[in-house]
Chains A and B, each alone.
Chain A
């Protein structure tokens, strides 16, 4: 099993450009998440998808959109990149069953630099 995979690993954008970060998991998890990590801030939730066909905002959703393409894939789109979106982005997945919390598994991250 590959677990959670993310592409690309690293990207440089100019202000105003758009891009999509891809995430896929092969653990048959129903819930998926996008976080960003900034120095001194820990990881902050951008968007999540509790199950296939649903998405919802997290703590810092402004400037982002998401698509839950199928059970395996959850993408994050920056429509018009800004320097404030320079960060490391992590995708995670877990199984939610009956309201019980289980461990989230993380991908290796995408490092994004917006100039």
Chain B
């Protein structure tokens, strides 16, 4: 049972335009969500996160939106740059004493930004 899903394996965007990456989850216990970016032959690097008490979090060109009722979150990158080309993973976690910070990851979306 895939508790975190990224249904788009790939996304292609023109430089300067908006990139929108989507993620759905099924476990209602999840209350903390993260996006990681991964380049080939490197480990994932943290990009941005959001707690379930918020519906939006911004950091420069990156904004994450959370719709709790739909169990859906999205990452917006504006404007997109060629250096943003990477694999993006959505991850979710449940706070509380027994979760121990464990993350559940989606399958990833390959973003390609064309010059």
A-to-B contact residues, CB < 8 Å: 4, 31, 33, 35, 40-45, 48, 50, 56, 58, 90, 92, 94, 96, 99-109
Report which of B41, B49, B95, B102 forms a contact with A99, defined as CB distance below 8 A: B95
Cβ–Cβ contact B105 & A42, under 8 A? yes
Question: Among the listed B4, B99, B101, B107, which residue makes an inter-chain contact with A104, where contact means beta carbons less than 8 Å apart?
Answer: B101
Cα distance A48–B103 when bound, in Å? 11
Interface pairs A-B: 9 shortest CB-CB? A106-B43, A42-B105, A50-B100, A43-B105, A101-B32, A42-B107, A101-B93, A103-B46, A106-B44
Partner of B100, one of A35, A41, A43, A96: A96
Chain B residues within an 8 Å CB radius of A58? 102
Contact B43 A101 (CB under 8 A): no
Taking chain B's interface residues, is the majority helix, strand, or loop, or is none over half, making it mixed? loop
Residues of B within 8 A of A (CB): 4, 6, 9, 32, 34, 36, 41-46, 49, 89, 91, 93-97, 99-108
Within 8 Å CB of A109, what residues of B? Answer: 41-43
A42-B106, A90-B43 as given contacts; A103 in contact with B100, CB under 8 Å: no
The A-B contact count (CB < 8 A) is 70
* A94-B102 Cα distance, complex, nearest whole Å: 10
Give the nearest-CB partner of B94 in chain A.
Answer: A101
Contact yes or no, B102 A45, CB < 8 A: yes
Contact present for A104 and B103 (CB under 8 Å): yes
Pull 11 A–B residue pairs with CB atoms less than 8 Å apart, ordered by A. Answer: A42-B89, A42-B106, A43-B103, A48-B101, A94-B101, A96-B100, A101-B32, A101-B94, A105-B46, A106-B43, A106-B45
- A10 nearest CB across to chain B (Å): 10
Residues of chain B contacted by A4 (CB below 8 angstroms): 43
With known contacts A99-B95, A101-B99, A108–B108 Cβ distance under 8 A: no
Given contacts A44-B105, A56-B100, A101-B32, 12 further A-B contacts (CB under 8 A): A33-B103, A42-B107, A43-B91, A43-B103, A48-B102, A94-B101, A99-B96, A101-B93, A101-B94, A103-B46, A104-B101, A106-B43
